[in-house]
Chain A
Amino acid sequence: MRVLVVEDDKDLNRQLVSALADSGYAVDSAADGEQGYFLGDTEPYDVIILDIGLPKMDGISILEQWRRADRKMPVIILTARDRWSDKVAGMDAGADDYLAKPFHMEELLARVRAQVRRASGHAKAEIECGPLRLDTKSARVTCNGQQIKLTSHEYRLLAYLMHHNGRVVSRTELVEHLYEQDFDRDSNTIEVFIGRLRKKIPVDLIQTVRGLGYRLSEVPEQG
């Protein structure tokens, strides 16, 4: 899952990035409105955290421009202005959620999880796929109740597949959604991680769809 943080306060930006990275997200960050707008317009993020009061371009205009360009990713607005008129303006500009400063990081992470789940059509905090069970809250995966130990990259990959289970996910999509912007994007690494995941999960649920990508399915692959 890839997240963009647009926040001009350096310290808060750093805190957000590290908290999100610790929770298993690939995080990009922007310190001003123009950069934030550009990243959100060009990169496929799963969630964007957007401050309203930004230098160069304010959050509401950024959001309105994204929505006008039909970019539908979930956006959580982060602002010190917590009047209901501000919230209404933010939501009407196309935000999906609203968080007033100061906030608890746990609260923010919960909202991010909720947006990711909502975007992929899952209602509960736990996503199941056959014997596999993903607890988005604690970032843990179990198979038939047994916990599977994963590295952060492996977790990201599996979590993305589980959020989109039953659907074919291309390698490009995986690369775009799993790595930060400046990460060395070698699609071979995806294959390596898929291979590792297959070893760690007792039942092979990850299907390779030749020429298209991968699919996580409840029914184990035949043969």
Chain B
Amino acid sequence: MRFNSLAFRLFTTAAAWTLLVLPIAGFIIYGLYRDDVQASFDGQLQKLVNAITVDSMGVGQGAPSAPTNLYEPLFEVTHSGWYWQITPLDDKSAARLVSPSLATASLPSPAASGIAADATGARWMTAKGPKGEPLRLVEVIDTLGHEAHTPRYSIIVAGPQDWLDHLVANFRYRLTTALALAGIGLVAVTLFQVRFGLLPLRQIEGGLAAIRSGAATTLKGELPAEIEPLQSELNALIRSNQDIVDRARTQVGNLAHALKTPLAVITNEARGEKTGLGAKVAEQAQIMSESVKHYLDRARMAARVNVIGRVTPVAPVLGPLVRTLERIHQEKKVKIEVTCPPDARFQGERQDLEEMLGNLLDNACKWARRTVKLAVEVTPQTGRAPRRRLAITVADDGPGLTDEQRARIGRRGLRLDETKPGSGLGLSIVMDLAQSYRGSCELARGPEGGLAVHLDLPAV
């Protein structure tokens, strides 16, 4: 997951929220539980203190008596944590009654510690027991038979607080475990949700890659309502892009037709005129027609910049071209030998590939003695070259060029031999086209001494 991505944003906010909310919830649940457990423990103590009060503070007795009921067996076990104690408050000489568990020790009094009574008259406190263990105490002050103006007694019942603490700690452990598991689960679900929710974007990404590579012409697939408009807009954009290119190309073609016929007329007329003026007009018309060709070629090229998603299989282009060229040069009986893997695909316009190969093959046929060799290779993806490339070589067995001539042609696309028209311009348009596809066109000496042109183009 990248730092700057929708998935990262969605995931981090959801995870942060989960991590914030779960501890707070845990804290609240823990507090509620602890209070609840405490209240129920306190209720038990209250019941005990009430029962002992009623039992031992009966009417008509001179002094409190030990409760007849045991209530809690642990009152009998020494230092069990369960204690009761009845202490006279007014009559200091009266005896103090305690549970057997308390032995010789005594319990601290909440009333003596200055704790106020609650609505039922009970006073609550947490203190240390005989062994130093934490105790929960409740004290009730009452008189015998609950009558006024008689000596008061303090009745205290204590229970072990650590039993309570143990219960709460146990609950806390289980709660934490459960919440942690819930947290992990939630984060995992969030991750899944983000992935699943953003799946259509992945789909778009794949679709765009397919368009770029030419496997598709439109963004296909059923997309969710939110991004469906994006899909249709994108498809419209691709279509209009294509339309603009096609229209530009048609108009350039029309312009070509409109200009070239009058130029042909002027040229022929002027060449028939054996005067200075005729020669001048013929010369200028020639310059004009070359300029027209030059700039029309470039206009076509400019119209094509950044057209996405055009892929041209190479082999189907070669067949008709070779047929046409062999027919054009049938006088010379030039044989064009082609080697091309069936899966070679050029990443670009068919017309451009035709233009490059047509010009190169035509040139080669003009100069060749017997054969022209056309070899297409696909170089695989490597670390150094991240994309597949087409390596095309057109070699003839003609006279070839000297190193110096090659360098000059390579530089300017010059025409070396006026008797074979078009050779220079043809080569220069090939170079420009190759460059517009971020490829290259290089001249070399062929294996049979003729010219070999190496064309490097993007493949799919």
Contact = CB atoms under 8 A, between A and B. Distances in A.
A19 B268 contact: yes
A133 B264 CA distance: 34
A104 B271 contact: yes
Interface string A99-122: 011111101000000100010000
Contact of B354 (A15, A19, A88, A103): A88
Given A80-B257, A80-B260, A97 B328 contact: yes
Contacts of B264: 12, 101-103
B86 interface: no
B327 A96 contact: yes
Given A80-B260, A85-B350, A118 B331 contact: yes
A56 interface: no
B260 A98 contact: no
Interface string A14-31: 010001000000000000
Contacts of A82: 256, 293
Interface stretch (B225-233, B316-324, B445-453): B316-324
A85 B350 CA distance: 9
A96 B260 CA distance: 22
B423 to A, nearest CB: 14
A88 B257 contact: no
Contact of A15 (B257, B268, B351): B268
A3 to B, nearest CB: 16
B99 interface: no
A219 B146 CA distance: 167
Contact of B358 (A15, A53, A84, A123): A84
A102 B324 contact: no
Contact of A91 (B260, B323, B357): B323
B268 A87 contact: no
Contacts of B331: 114, 118, 123
A44 B382 CA distance: 62
A105 B271 contact: yes
Contacts of A118: 330-331
Contacts of A98: 324, 328
A11 interface: yes
Contact of B321 (A11, A88, A114): A88
A82 B358 CA distance: 11
Nearest to A89: B320
Contacts of B355: 83-84
B269 interface: yes
B391 interface: no
A80 B263 CA distance: 10
Interface string A65-94: 000000000000001111111011001100
Where chain B touches its partner, the secondary structure class is helix
Nearest to B362: A84
A9 to B, nearest CB: 5
A83 B330 contact: no
Nearest to A124: B331
A83 B354 contact: yes
A104 B421 CA distance: 10
Contacts of A83: 253, 351, 354-355
A85 B261 contact: no
A9 B265 contact: yes
B271 A80 contact: no
A19 B351 CA distance: 34
B116 to A, nearest CB: 105
B354 A91 contact: no
Contacts of A104: 267-268, 271, 421
Nearest to A100: B260
A172 B452 CA distance: 53
A104 B320 CA distance: 27
A216 to B, nearest CB: 24
Contacts of B263: 101-102
Interface string B240-270: 0000000000000100111111111101110
A80 B289 CA distance: 11
Contacts of A15: 265, 268-269, 272
A96 B328 CA distance: 7
Contacts of B268: 12, 15, 19, 104-105
Nearest to A51: B261
Residue of B269, B321, B324, B330 most packed against chain A (CB within 10 A)? B324
Contacts of A102: 260-261, 263-264, 267, 285, 289
Interface in B417-456: 421
Contacts of B351: 83-85
B354 A12 contact: no
A91 B211 CA distance: 33
A101 B354 CA distance: 19
B128 to A, nearest CB: 103
A12 B267 contact: no
A102 B296 CA distance: 14
B321 A84 contact: yes
A107 B421 contact: yes
Nearest to A79: B257
Residue of A92, A100, A101, A103 most packed against chain B (CB within 10 A)? A101
Contacts of B253: 81, 83
Given A15-B265, A83-B354, A83-B355, 20 more contacts: A9-B261, A11-B262, A11-B265, A12-B261, A80-B261, A81-B257, A84-B351, A84-B354, A84-B355, A85-B350, A88-B354, A91-B324, A91-B327, A96-B327, A97-B327, A102-B264, A102-B267, A102-B285, A102-B289, A104-B267
Interface of A: 9, 11-12, 15, 19, 53, 79-85, 87-88, 91-92, 96-98, 100-105, 107, 114, 118, 123
5 contacts: A92-B320, A101-B261, A102-B263, A102-B285, A105-B271
Q: Which 6 A-B pairs have the closest CB atoms?
A: A84-B358, A80-B260, A102-B264, A80-B257, A101-B260, A91-B324
